[in-house]
Amino acid sequence: MVNDAAVATPTRFSDADAPLPLPAFQIVPLVGLPIVAVLVALLIVAIVGDWLWALNFFHVVAGGLWTGIDLFVGLVIGPILGRLSIPARIEFTVRFMPKMLLIMPTLVTLTLASGWQLQRHLGYLLLSYPQHWWLTASYIVVGVMTVIALGLLEPANLAVLFELKKPRPDPTVIGRLMRRFIYTAGVTGVMQLATLVTMTRIATW
Amino acid sequence: MVTAEPAEHAGMDAVDHRLPPVTELAVGTLVLIIVGGIDVAARLPQQAALWLPIVLLVAAVVLLIANVVVLSRVQAFAWHTFFLVVRYAVLAYIVIAGMLEFVFVLDGTPGRLLALLTAMLVVFAVDIPLLFGFSVARYQPVDRAD
């Protein structure tokens, strides 16, 4: 889900071993919460009203953003970050990760809830196997990404942000946590490609 | 009793070795719930055979309880940070799980299946905050007052 990939391993913050001047940041950007609340409220309206266009809109837009952000962060932003100096990397991280903490769970919730209702509305659940395997494949892909996102990436994300709130963050801790992103970026990338295949196949039935 | 040294004073590996495998147990719980959920979703709209997701749910509950027990036995830990994270994570995951429950009810999910899915959501909404709280608190200075 959140491929804050390849924010590679810092081994030291500075030669003088002095604490980095980190910008002030909120672990969860409170300003974004009302936006999340409005989007979730709109999704509930779409579900309750069984509003096909709105369900389709939420699924396509949120799902497209979810997949696009994952691939872009994993394949473009990640390698760039890995080549930045450690202070630049840390400064980017404290500005980037809090936003991702709000954006990605919101996109995932919008995508999955609207997608589930959409398949019910369009009658895809009634399809028999082997055609049903396309739906089952999409559940498996989402399941794998959920385990990676909630079991590995988000805990590491939170731990890094709390570590960076300390007066003297420990680069060993940050480096170890950041390595998780690198290890899981490939798996998530493959899963997102599988998502593109299954979704475009289902959409053209 | 399991103890841990303050993260800022002890080496990280030393801290990790003294803490129980909370992360592994929590991820195991999550995997069981996800597999159960996939099995249920893959068989819809039929609900003839629920034995597999029920077995997976029971195993997930056992793992979750074991996790809470082993974590509660840790004396020296950043409990303040742990509960700070857990509090907000529970709030967030109640909203997410509540949203899913709302969809199941709205769709007229039959009682037996709804009960199973609800139990899965409850485990999910407890397991994830516990994992988040532990993942953050393990690297924070130990609460001396505790």
User: Looking at residues A76-100, what average pLDDT do you find?
Assistant: 82
The answer to whether the CB atoms of A150 and B106 lie below 8 A apart is: no
The rounded mean pLDDT for chain A is 81
CA distances, B46 to each of A118, B35, B39, B40, B50 (Å): 18, 17, 11, 9, 10
Q: How confident is the model at residue A54 (pLDDT cuts 50, 70, 90)?
A: very high
Interface A:B, Cβ pairs < 8 A:
87
Per-residue pLDDT at B47: 64
Sort out which chain A residues have CB atoms less than 8 A from B88's CB and list them.
Answer: 28
Q: Among all chains, which residue has been given the structure tokens 């696009």?
A: A68
Structure-model confidence comparison of residues B140 and B15, the more confident one: B140
The answer to whether the CB atoms of B131 and A162 lie below 8 A apart is: no
User: Looking at residues A34-43, what average pLDDT do you find?
Assistant: 92
Structure-model confidence comparison of residues A170 and A64, the more confident one: A64
- C-alpha distance across the termini of chain A, in Å: 27
Per-residue pLDDT at B65: 97
Q: Which residues of A touch B (CB under 8 A)?
A: 28, 40, 43-44, 47-48, 105, 109, 113, 116-117, 120, 125-126, 132, 135-136, 139-140, 143, 146-147, 150-152, 154-156, 158-159, 162-163, 166, 168, 170, 172-173, 176
Among A31-35, B15-19, B60-64, B111-115, the range with the most confident prediction by mean pLDDT is: B60-64
A10 SS3 class: coil
Per-residue pLDDT at A11: 44
Where exactly are the structural domains of chain A? 30-203
Q: Give, to the nearest 10 degrees, the angle between helix A86-121 and helix A33-48.
A: 10
User: Looking at residues A172-186, what average pLDDT do you find?
Assistant: 74
Closest in A155, A163, A176 to B132, CB measured:
A155
Per-residue pLDDT at B130: 96
For this complex, say whether ipTM is above 0.95: no
User: Looking at residues A151-169, what average pLDDT do you find?
Assistant: 86
Residue A132 tokens read as 């049903």
User: Looking at residues B105-131, what average pLDDT do you find?
Assistant: 90
Quote the CA–CA distance of A192 and A198 in Å, as a whole number: 10
User: Looking at residues B29-58, what average pLDDT do you find?
Assistant: 88
User: Looking at residues A46-50, what average pLDDT do you find?
Assistant: 89
For B:26-55, CB contacts with A below 8 A are 26-27, 30-31, 34-35, 37-38, 41-42, 44-45
Per-residue pLDDT at A17: 55
Closest in B26, B30, B38 to A139, CB measured:
B38
Quote the CA–CA distance of A69 and A145 in Å, as a whole number: 14
Per-residue pLDDT at B85: 93
Structure-model confidence comparison of residues B107 and A107, the more confident one: A107
Sort out which chain B residues have CB atoms less than 8 A from A159's CB and list them.
Answer: 135-136, 138-139
B2 SS3 class: strand
Sort out which chain B residues have CB atoms less than 8 A from A170's CB and list them.
Answer: 7-8, 12, 139
Quote the CA–CA distance of B48 and A205 in Å, as a whole number: 27
Per-residue pLDDT at A62: 93
Closest in B8, B30, B95 to A150, CB measured:
B30
- Is pLDDT above 80 for B122? yes
Per-residue pLDDT at B8: 43
Residue A133 tokens read as 């395997």
Per-residue pLDDT at B9: 43
Residue B45 tokens read as 């709209």
Q: How confident is the model at residue B115 (pLDDT cuts 50, 70, 90)?
A: very high
Per-residue pLDDT at B11: 44
The rounded mean pLDDT for chain B is 84
- Is pLDDT above 70 for A7? no
Confirm if A100 and A145 have CB atoms less than 8 A apart: no
Per-residue pLDDT at B134: 95
Q: How confident is the model at residue A8 (pLDDT cuts 50, 70, 90)?
A: very low
User: Looking at residues B105-127, what average pLDDT do you find?
Assistant: 89
- Is pLDDT above 70 for B4? no
A38 SS3 class: helix
Chain A interface, best mutation among B5, B80, B96, B109, by max A CB count within 10 A: B96
Q: With an 8 Å Cβ cutoff, is B85 touching chain A?
A: yes
Q: How confident is the model at residue A12 (pLDDT cuts 50, 70, 90)?
A: very low
Q: How confident is the model at residue B22 (pLDDT cuts 50, 70, 90)?
A: very high
- Is pLDDT above 80 for A122? yes
